[in-house]
Structures are given as structure tokens and as C-alpha cells.
């Protein structure tokens, strides 16, 4: 039984809840140019286009529920006696809604807004536009989704890297291993002597870096993995 677990999730864990992934054949980046909607330059060039993209994603998620894989990770956090941290690249709130608490959204959350004028962060469930007013400083036209775009620094990296240095089990779930620094976490975990496991529909970009792998839909392989881990 491990004493400290770090879990990394990506879009694949939410796929069976109905939320599109990014790089699968019909994924989000096959329909939208990430440079237009997921970079600071894209926002500066056409903020209305970026607001439209995140308004669509925020509304799109509304009708979807956490699945058995999200529930299994919430159970693991509850029933595992050691150190536990769940790091997600996802900006949806399905982990929280499944009951996860020791959770870091390293790429932010689309249900939060960030004000470019005052730096204030607020919960934001409605449409956001250039007419939106900051609840903190009352400025208009300064709101952006509180998500980490390409070229921006992911959130809470110090806390994540400290957890990676101290873990003896690292599990990567539903991510293609394309995006850094998340895709490099497996190297940091291995350097710390951790056992590294990939649970994914298919081998990711970094598959060779993992000691073990199981391939299949997350709602099947993640609950089974957690059951074996807790039963050990």
C-alpha cells in the first residue's frame, strides 16, 4: 500500500460524461484554433471570440454529470489513509461535484472569472462579455475566464511539485501527455522513486515513461484500479 498518492487527470476522464476532449479526432482543437481562443494574444486580438468560446464551454457542461471514474477518485481520497492530491488539467467542475476536495485546477476553472483591472477572482456561471462588470472593483470590460492559456503559468506548481517529490504512487488518467508542464509530472514522480501508472483509453505521448499502464474507458479501468488499491 503506498503512503502518498498524486493523481493527474485530463479531458479523457470527463469524456464519458459527454464533455469533448481536445485532441481526439473530433476534439475541440479540431474545430477551433487554440491560438485564437486559448492564448493571451488571441484574447487581446478578439476578446468577444474568446468570451463566446468559454460561454459555450460553460453552458455545454451544465447538462453533464460526473461519471464512475470521478466517483472512484473521490472514494480513493475519502478511504485512503495516506497523503492524497488530485491535480486536474480540466476546467470543468465534475471532480468537485463527485466529492473530490484535495484538488488543484492547474489550468483554472471556467466557472471563475478574473478581473484584469484589480486581479479579483469571482465565481462566474453566467455569460461573460466585454459588457461584464467586475463584482470587486466595478470596472466594465476587464473580465476574462480564470483559465490558464498557452504561454501562461499554470496554478499552484510549487504545491504540485512538492507533492510529486513526496509521492510513492503517481497515476495519470485521461490525458494525451501533450501539454507541459503537466506532461512532465511523470518524470518528476519517477525521480522521486514513485511507482507510475497510466490509465488511459490508449497509450499517451508519454506512455513509455510509465512503469505500468492500463488502457480502456475510464469508467471501467479507474474504479477497478481504485478497488484493487484499497483492497490491497
Write out the residues near ligand BV8 by the rule CB under 6 A.
10-12, 15-16, 21-24, 27, 38, 89-91, 107, 147-154, 157, 174-176, 178-181, 200-202, 204, 217-218
Alpha helical stretches, state H, 137-194: 157-165, 185-191
84 vs 105 by CB, closer to ligand BV8:
105
202 vs 212 by CB, closer to ligand BV8:
202
Question: Active-site residue 107, yes or no?
Answer: yes
39 vs 139 by CB, closer to ligand BV8:
39
Q: Show the beta-strand stretches assigned E in 62-150.
A: 83-88, 103-105, 108-115, 121-123, 143-147
Catalytic residue of the set 51, 95, 105, 107: 107
What whole-number distance in Å separates Cα of residue 88 and Cα of residue 107?
Answer: 8
Shortest distance, CB of residue 71 to ligand BV8, whole angstroms?
14
CB 164 within 8 A of CB 192: yes
81 vs 208 by CB, closer to ligand BV8:
208
The length of the chain, given as a count of residues = 232
Pairing of strands 121-123, 143-147: unpaired
139 vs 213 by CB, closer to ligand BV8:
213
Alpha helical stretches, state H, 62-181: 68-79, 94-98, 157-165
Shortest distance, CB of residue 20 to ligand BV8, whole angstroms?
8
What whole-number distance in Å separates Cα of residue 73 and Cα of residue 8?
Answer: 11
Other C-beta atoms within 10 Å of 151: how many?
Answer: 9
Map grid coordinates 506512455 to a residue.
207
Question: Cβ neighbours of residue 167 under 8 Å, at least 6 residues apart?
Answer: 2, 4, 5, 6, 83, 85, 189, 192, 194
What whole-number distance in Å separates Cα of residue 82 and Cα of residue 205?
Answer: 30
DSSP code at position 13? G
Shortest distance, CB of residue 168 to ligand BV8, whole angstroms?
24
Shortest distance, CB of residue 82 to ligand BV8, whole angstroms?
25
Shortest distance, CB of residue 81 to ligand BV8, whole angstroms?
27
The residue whose Cβ lies closest to ligand BV8 is 12
Annotated catalytic sites, by residue? 107
Amino acid at each position: 500500500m503506498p503512503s502518498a498518492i498524486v493523481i493527474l487527470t485530463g479531458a479523457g476522464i470527463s469524456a464519458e460524461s459527454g464533455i469533448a476532449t481536445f485532441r481526439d479526432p473530433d476534439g475541440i482543437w479540431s474545430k477551433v484554433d487554440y491560438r485564437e481562443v486559448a492564448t493571451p494574444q488571441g484574447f487581446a486580438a478578439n476578446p468577444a471570440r474568446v468570451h463566446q468560446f468559454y460561454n459555450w464551454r460553460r453552458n455545454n457542461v451544465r447538462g453533464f454529470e460526473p461519471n464512475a471514474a470521478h466517483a472512484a477518485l473521490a472514494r480513493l481520497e475519502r478511504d485512503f489513509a495516506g497523503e492524497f492530491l488530485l491535480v486536474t488539467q480540466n476546467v470543468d467542475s465534475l471532480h468537485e461535484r463527485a466529492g473530490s476536495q484535495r484538488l488543484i485546477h492547474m489550468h483554472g476553472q471556467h466557472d471563475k472569472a478574473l478581473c484584469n483591472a484589480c486581479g479579483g477572482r469571482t465565481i462566474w456561471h453566467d455569460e461573460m462579455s466585454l459588457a461584464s462588470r467586475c463584482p470587486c472593483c466595478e470596472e466594465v470590460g476587464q473580465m476574462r475566464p480564470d483559465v490558464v492559456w498557452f504561454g501562461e503559468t499554470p496554478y499552484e506548481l510549487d504545491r504540485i511539485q512538492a507533492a510529486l517529490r513526496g509521492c510513492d504512487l503517481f497515476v495519470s488518467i485521461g490525458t494525451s501527455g501533450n501539454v507541459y508542464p503537466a506532461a512532465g509530472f511523470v518524470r518528476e514522480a519517477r525521480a522521486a522513486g514513485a511507482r507510475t501508472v497510466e490509465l488511459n483509453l490508449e497509450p499517451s505521448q508519454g506512455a513509455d515513461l510509465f512503469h505500468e499502464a492500463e488502457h480502456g474507458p475510464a469508467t471501467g479501468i479507474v474504479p477497478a484500479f481504485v478497488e484493487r488499491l484499497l483492497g490491497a
